[in-house]
A and B are shown apart, each in its own frame.
Chain A
Amino acid sequence: MMSYTLIILVLPVLMFIFLGLCGGKMKPAVAGIFGTLGLTLVAVLSYITAVTYFFSVGKVGGVYHTITPFNFEWLRITENLHIDLGIMLDPISVMMLVVISTVSLMVHIYSLGYMNGEKGFQRYYALLSLFSFSMLGLVVATNIFQMYIFWELVGVSSYSLIGFYYTKPSAVAASKKAFIVTRFADLFFLIGILVISFYSKTFSFASLTSPTGSILGQHIGATFMGVSVISWAMMLIFIGGAGKSAMMPFHIWLPDAMEGPTPVSALIHAATMVVAGVFLVARMFPLYYFGAPVVLNIIAYIGAITALFAAIVACTQTDIKRVLAFSTISQIAYMITALGVSGYGGEAGLGYMASMFHLFTHAFFKALLFLGAGSIIHAVHSNEMDTMGGLRKYMPITHITFLIACLSISGIPPFSGFFSKDEIMVAAFNKDIILFGCLYLCAGLTAFYMFRLYYRIFWGENNKQYEHKPHESPVNMTIPLIVLATLTVVTGFVPFSQYVSSDFIPFHTHIEWSVASLSILIAVIGIAIATIMYRKENSLPEKVALSASGFYTAACHKFYFDEIWIFITKKIIFNCISKPIAWFDRHVVDGFMNLLSSSTNFVSRKIKVVQSGDIQDYVWVFFMGALVMVVSLIFFWWSSLPC
């Protein structure tokens, strides 16, 4: 059943191999069209899968059940423990298939215009295909180990795409930073996987996440340092997710990752890869909820703090892509918080559904924002908002679509962000008022910094001087913008809880107008403040910055997180741990080995003269030796004779 889903996975990887091997020999445009056509097919198949799953085969007796169209045993470790590779379809993975293939297709089309004429165009498309493959494989993984494999593949393709402009030192540094930080977090993920598989004797999601399964009951007693091992494992797994999803304190790589091409930022660092952590927590949700509720609380608080932190920093950044990067961190933190406050089943599982809903809508409007930003950068040739202003006259399509995305992320009805954010607010409100307060404040800040961005790009001085007159982007860049803007408008009306819920049983949600009106209010206040401060050039922003100068400077420097990491790694870890270890290795371990080798060398140099290679020398020595032996034998024999 539904075995054609295998093509969704296989096609991008074939395209990667094809473009990677033969791309250099074809014209750039041909490679781009090949990549785009492949992804179009993948997208169509994903839509067919989604329609088939949600409307005919998925739902049995009012409950969505899991379909595994394809699964084979890849590596058998013990009798019970084996690593499989396969495809698992359930509501969230099918939803992710749709999101990934849609955004990826848009980015493929957009890149035809945006990356036109770049060196390495074919390589770019090959890597995009690799990324699509890895991300699709990640979401349909049947077991946690397969997920981990694709998780790393995603990291690798993200690394190579951030460092796409490899002649630029800052891009190289950013790609290394992204790879090392996420890889560091993945180490914890791996340990978590090992711990959980050690106790549960399985990798499979089907048996790990079934709430009635025996895995939880058997080992609930096992503890480590007073905390149950399941809590430890789930915390470690969450750290892996936090690394990919840029939660505090692992968020430092995401703003730097903006060194990559803008469509890559839209695809990887806004819509798909960075939500992998959210997806991971959602995938393991029953285990979190039943096995480690404490961890779920911690997750909620980490999410809320990150959301607030990132929103504050976003208000002070001047690079438009960095503003969007911090807004991404903040929005992902929303999803994480929503998962943290969620219960299980029906209305209680509102947070789970809200998180997935926000993931769904955020993917579209954030991709739209990034692609819009790319369009602006394409026109202005700069990332700095100081060089922009008054662009609304030159770029009408970009302007309108960007405005739609800004309204959506700010939570203004009827745009999609309003609906998903409202569900998150309700879920947080029902669970914990402090978390709600954090998110509420964050919503206001979101509206403020998005409209700060909007006004500073599109409004302001009308007579701004540009080197080249900015122009609207070509049609292959504006079409994705229009498509995504349409999606941003309509996806809010999707009855999401009918499709995705924590226990796979559809339920009804309605807009909680008391909470919704509050969040609309704060969004409007945020927009109003942004309008006052940035609609026209005035001195208000400087005054505000001066009145809170210390705080403002700290926020400008992203609260010194990079400096703290550098301090910890360079000053403490490097000086106190790495250097002594390196010294020990170089002088003691290597020294001992060098002593062995040099003494052997010395001795052999001394004795090699004996080996003259002249056979007659050898015979001479042999003969003399034999003579000595014979003579001494005779001597002893003679002396042993009686007189």
Chain B
Amino acid sequence: MPESADFIYKVEFNKQQIMNNIPLIAYLTVSAVMFFAGIYGFLSRRNMLTILMSLELMLNAADLNFAVFNKYLYPGQSEGAFFTLFAIGVSAAETAIAIAIIINIYRNLKNIYVDEVNKMKF
């Protein structure tokens, strides 16, 4: 076996090992950061489209958790992965509806700032 190929093999082997040795907490950290970024965006932005994006961010954080917990806690099963796919499908549909609503609001009010859309307030 040539050295270079061996190296490659070793690298390949090491990549696999590295992938397998990423601790669960790292995934959860990324997921938590994404989630809180989403919450921050949701609370601080006035533009509905940005709010929608923040919402997607939170959803994706949750999806990540599904996938990771499936892999680490129940490696032999695949429900978490299916849930992730399912949630992605649902969120796509939901985003379509939300955008439709936003477009309609814009057509009617010429405005998509949440704090200014208050026609139905008491």
Contacts and interface: CB of A to CB of B under 8 A. Distances in A.
Of A611, A612, A615, A619, chain B has the most CB atoms within 10 Å of the CB of A615
A613 interface: yes
B43 A623 contact: yes
A637 interface: no
Nearest to A627: B39
Given A608-B122, A613-B120, A619 B114 contact: no
Contact of A611 (B39, B42, B122): B122
A467 interface: no
Interface string B98-122: 0000000000000000110010111
A612 B118 CA distance: 9
Nearest to A611: B122
A619 B43 contact: yes
Nearest to B45: A616
Contact of B114 (A608, A616, A620): A616
Interface string A614-643: 111001100100000000000000000000
Contacts of A623: 39, 43
Contact of B122 (A613, A615, A616, A620): A613
Contacts of A612: 121
A628 to B, nearest CB: 15
A247 B118 CA distance: 71
A608 B114 CA distance: 19
Contacts of A616: 42-43, 114-115
Nearest to A614: B115
Contacts of B115: 614, 616
Contacts of B43: 616, 619-620, 623
Contacts of A614: 114-115, 118
A615 B44 CA distance: 11
B93 to A, nearest CB: 21
Contacts of A615: 114
Given A614-B114, A614-B115, A619 B122 contact: no
B42 A619 contact: yes
Nearest to B48: A615
A613 B121 contact: yes
Nearest to A608: B122
B59 to A, nearest CB: 15
Interface string A596-616: 000000000000100111111
B42 A613 contact: no
A616 B39 CA distance: 10
A619 B121 CA distance: 17
A620 B42 CA distance: 9
Contacts of B114: 614-616
A608 B121 CA distance: 11
A611 B114 CA distance: 15
B40 to A, nearest CB: 10
A527 to B, nearest CB: 85
Contacts of B122: 608, 611, 613
Contacts of B39: 619, 623
Interface in B63-122: 114-115, 118, 120-122
A623 B120 CA distance: 24
Nearest to B115: A614
A611 B121 CA distance: 8
Nearest to A626: B39
A504 to B, nearest CB: 76
A619 B118 CA distance: 16
A303 to B, nearest CB: 70
Interface in A357-394: none
A492 to B, nearest CB: 83
Interface in B20-52: 39, 42-43
A342 B43 CA distance: 97
B94 to A, nearest CB: 16
B6 to A, nearest CB: 49
Contacts of A620: 43
B29 to A, nearest CB: 17
A608 B39 CA distance: 26
A613 B118 CA distance: 7
A554 B122 CA distance: 70
A611 B118 CA distance: 12
A608 B122 CA distance: 8
A39 to B, nearest CB: 63
Nearest to B121: A613
Contacts of A613: 118, 120-122
A458 B80 CA distance: 115
Contacts of A608: 122
B23 to A, nearest CB: 20
A74 to B, nearest CB: 51
A340 to B, nearest CB: 72
Contacts of A611: 122
A55 B43 CA distance: 99
7 closest Cβ pairs, A-B complex: A613-B121, A613-B118, A614-B115, A615-B114, A616-B43, A620-B43, A619-B42
10 contacts: A613-B121, A614-B114, A614-B115, A615-B114, A616-B114, A619-B39, A619-B42, A619-B43, A623-B39, A623-B43
Given A611-B122, A613-B121, A613-B122, 18 more contacts: A608-B122, A612-B121, A613-B118, A613-B120, A614-B114, A614-B115, A614-B118, A615-B114, A616-B42, A616-B43, A616-B114, A616-B115, A619-B39, A619-B42, A619-B43, A620-B43, A623-B39, A623-B43
